Structure formats: C-alpha cells, structure tokens
Amino acid sequence: MTPPDTMNVRDKHGGITAVLASGDTLWNADPERTKDTIGTLIAGSIKPNTYYQRNNDVTSADYRIPKFRFPVRVWWDNATGERIA
C-alpha cells in the first residue's frame, strides 16, 4: 500500500486521529476545529507493516493539515488496500 501525497484525512465517522507528542493517538470528533482536512503526507512517516486495533497487517502514514497542531494518522488494510481509519 502506497499512501497518497495528499488526501482528506477525515475518517468515515467524521473525525480525525491526532498523533500527540508522546506518540499516542487521540481521535478528535470536533469538525469546527478541523474544517480543512486535506492533508499533506509527512516525509518519513509511512509504516508499511504496523497494526490497527486487531488487524496486524496495515500501513499507516501521518499527514499535516492546515491550522492543526498535531499530525493526523491514517491506516489502510494491506490485504485490501482499503482505508480502515
């Protein structure tokens, strides 16, 4: 799975997943704070073999969106290529 250079990082539930300074992730459902959700891929952030919840075969990548302090993480299922979060 090769993540796109730019994409809408809002998930199917209408939120985004922020990557905190500690490396932890936090789902954010506040659409007012994150109106512009077209993100730009952060160089070096792609992890081709990582996990998401119970799925151990996923790719993740971090994106930068305007006016938002933290990077936003997106995950894809490696078997199907579908975005899962």
48-76 per-position pLDDT tens digit:
999 888 888 999 999 999 988 999 999 99
pTM over 0.85: yes
pLDDT number for residue 35: 76
1-58 per-position pLDDT tens digit:
899 999 999 999 889 999 999 999 999 887 666 678 999 999 999 999 998 888 889 9
**For residues 41 and 5, is the Cβ–Cβ distance under 8 A?**
yes
pLDDT number for residue 51: 85
**For residues 42 and 26, is the Cβ–Cβ distance under 8 A?**
no
